[in-house]
Structure 1
Amino acid sequence: MITIRNLTHVYPGSRKTAARVAVADLSLDVGEGEFAILSGPNGSGKSTLFRILCGLARPSGGSVRIAGFDLAREPAAVRGVLGVVFQSPALDKHLTVAENLAIQADLYGIGADVFPARRDQALGWTDLGGRLDSRVETLSGGLARQVELAKVLMTEPRVILLDEPTTGLDPVSRRNFLGALRALQRRRGLTVLMTSHVFSEAEEVDRVAILREGRLLAYDTPQALRAMIGTEMVVIQARDAVALAARLERDLDLRTAVVGDEVRLAETENGKSLPILERILDGYRSDLRAIAIKQPGLDDVFVRITGKAPGERGTE
């Protein structure tokens, strides 16, 4: 449903700055009815790729097809099947929920004869039933995001793009929004591509793509990505993570990675981490704040593949 081939985008330089490659020869497929998440450190090219897919930027090279339509040659046809939820709110906070939805209907040519049915269907999954006459500025962040998605659903898209839609939501609102989105996606057979750096959001999706410096480093199911790095790992919270990692590599010949104040050891098979943990406790207890054996999650895959912690800053 989304086919990206050899996509490249270069921001031109100036007298003071060199040209910068934001997306480099990227190829990616999202199948019909799949829910995929696109992740990577800040500066990995996510925002540039999202702008290209939305038609807001023209790539330097390569091609994009959405629902069989070429984005460069058939932009109107692409817009007819595409719904977009941007990271920044696209609602008029001084208008009511109903007024925001009515404006969306006018913009998309949804006539008065079908608007009530489209609106009610788009709102059916939400908690907005009694809030149609409420101004958006009085809604919680979670409810406002529901209005954003309801606007998109009212146009009956086949493909939905979402740019970090849970930014600013509390954990409960984030979970509720994603749960409703996943249920809608399955029920309607929607194809969804969403950017996110919160890996708890990626555990239940069909595929996860990880980018770094504009290049696609991995694209697979969450289960397959976790399997890449073993079944358990030792994680140490240290008083001086860099110094401890250097000592463990020198003294015990262990392979380490430092993430913030944590030292993470190379992943092993089940049962093989305990002897390593005991050796560290015997020789380095005073350097530790905490130590544990854990099963690798998608955040650990992210660190292994990109060399950075989720949310680590860069330029995009």
Structure 2
Amino acid sequence: MITIENLSHTYPGTRKMPPRTAISDLTLAVGDAEFVILSGPNGSGKSTLFRILCGMTLPGGGMVRIGGYDLFAHPAKVRGIMGVVFQSPAVDKHLSVGENLKIHADLYGIRGADFTRRRDEALGWTDLDGRLDQKVDTLSGGLARQVELAKVLMTDPKVLLLDEPTTGLDPMSRRNFLAALHKLQKERGMTVLMTSHVFSEADDVDRVAIMREGKLLAYDTPAALKAMIGTEMVVVQARDAEGLAARLRAEMGLAVRCIGDEVRLEETENGESLPLLERILDRYRPDIAAIAIKQPGLDDVFVHVTSKAVPDHALALELRKAAS
């Protein structure tokens, strides 16, 4: 449903700043009715990619097809099948819920009985019953987000793009919003591409894409990505993490990674971690603040993949091994 091939974009430089490459030869495909989360550290190119997919920025090169249409040759066709929820609110907080929905429907030529039907259908999953006349600025953050999604759903999009839609929501509102989004995505068969920094939001999606410095570093199912770094991890918090990591490499021959104040032994199998933990404790207890065995999560995958401590050639090899 979304096909990106060899996409590149460089922001021009100024007298004070050199040109900056935001996206570099990016190729990515999102299947029909898939739910994909896109993540990456700040400056990874996510925002630029999102702007390109929304038709707000023309790239320096490459091809994008959405729903079979060339985004740059037929932008109106793409807009007709796509809905967008931006990170910043895109509703008028001084208008009522009903007025915001009516304005959006008017932009798409949805009027009369068709508007009423679509509005009621779009509101069916929400907690906005009886609030059509209430101004948006009197709603909670979670309810205001529901207005945004309901507004987009009135046009029955085949493709839905969301840019960190849960930013600013409390944990309960975030959970409810995502539960509704997953339910609607499955019921309507929508293709969803959503940017997020919250990895608990990615456990139930079809695939996760991770970018760094404009490049796609990993793209697979949550389970496959977690399997990249073993079934268990030994994680050590140390007073001198770099020093302990160097000693573990030199004295025990362990392949460890140092991330902040943590030393990680990631490539372990079930049953290997406990003996390793005991050996490390026996030799280095005075240097250890805390030590644990944990199952890798997507946040661990993110650290593993995006850490600049991993040379690009070594990361590429790991990804090839994981794919095979």
TM-score w.r.t. the length of structure 1 is 0.94
Amino acid in structure 2 at the alignment position of 1:145 = R
Deviates more, 1:243-252 or 1:43-52: 243-252
Cα offset for 1:308? 6.2
The match for 1:175 is 175
Matched, 1:147 2:147: yes
Amino acid in structure 1 at the alignment position of 2:144 = A
Matched, 1:251 2:288: no
Identity %: 73
Cα offset for 1:270? 0.5
The match for 1:25 is 25
Deviates more, 1:13-22 or 1:217-226: 13-22
Output aligned runs, 1:111-190, within 5 Å.
111-190=111-190
The match for 1:193 is 193
The match for 1:312 is none
For the 8 Å contact 1:259–1:308, the answer to whether it is kept is no
Partner Cα distance (1:278, 1:220) in 2: 34
Matched, 1:65 2:81: no
Partner Cα distance (2:267, 2:147) in 1: 43
The unaligned stretches of length 5 or more in structure 2 are 310-324
SS in 1 for 2:56: coil
Alignment RMSD (CA, Å) = 1.4
For the 8 Å contact 2:236–2:290, the answer to whether it is kept is yes
For the 8 Å contact 2:38–2:209, the answer to whether it is kept is yes
For the 8 Å contact 1:230–1:269, the answer to whether it is kept is yes
Partner Cα distance (2:273, 2:132) in 1: 55
Deviates more, 1:54-63 or 1:91-100: 91-100
Amino acid in structure 1 at the alignment position of 2:93 = K
The one-character-per-residue Cα deviations of 1:127-173 (angstroms, maximum 9, x if unpaired) are 11122222111211111111110010011110000001111111111
Partner Cα distance (1:36, 1:299) in 2: 16
Cα offset for 1:79? 0.4
Ranked by relative contact order (alpha carbons within 8 Å, sequence separation 6 or more), the top structure is 1
Partner Cα distance (1:215, 1:170) in 2: 32
The match for 1:104 is 104
For the 8 Å contact 2:5–2:63, the answer to whether it is kept is yes
For the 8 Å contact 1:3–1:66, the answer to whether it is kept is yes
Partner Cα distance (2:143, 2:237) in 1: 37
Output aligned runs, 1:263-274, within 5 Å.
263-274=263-274
The match for 1:76 is 76
SS in 2 for 1:129: coil
The match for 2:288 is 288
For the 8 Å contact 1:232–1:273, the answer to whether it is kept is yes
For the 8 Å contact 2:232–2:266, the answer to whether it is kept is no
Cα offset for 1:287? 2.5
TM-score w.r.t. the length of structure 2 is 0.92
Amino acid in structure 2 at the alignment position of 1:2 = I
The one-character-per-residue Cα deviations of 1:249-295 (angstroms, maximum 9, x if unpaired) are 23322222233332221321111111111122112223222211011
The unaligned stretches of length 5 or more in structure 1 are 310-316
Partner Cα distance (2:209, 2:275) in 1: 34
SS in 2 for 1:267: strand
Partner Cα distance (2:308, 2:135) in 1: 41
Partner Cα distance (2:140, 2:244) in 1: 44
Partner Cα distance (1:300, 1:212) in 2: 15
Partner Cα distance (2:150, 2:5) in 1: 31
Partner Cα distance (1:249, 1:173) in 2: 45
SS in 2 for 1:175: helix
The match for 1:230 is 230
Cα offset for 1:229? 1.5
Cα offset for 1:18? 1.7
Cα offset for 1:243? 3.0
Deviates more, 1:49-58 or 1:233-242: 233-242
SS in 1 for 2:5: strand
For the 8 Å contact 1:254–1:266, the answer to whether it is kept is no
The match for 2:85 is 85
Cα offset for 1:62? 0.4
Matched, 1:216 2:216: yes
SS in 1 for 2:267: coil
For the 8 Å contact 1:86–1:162, the answer to whether it is kept is yes
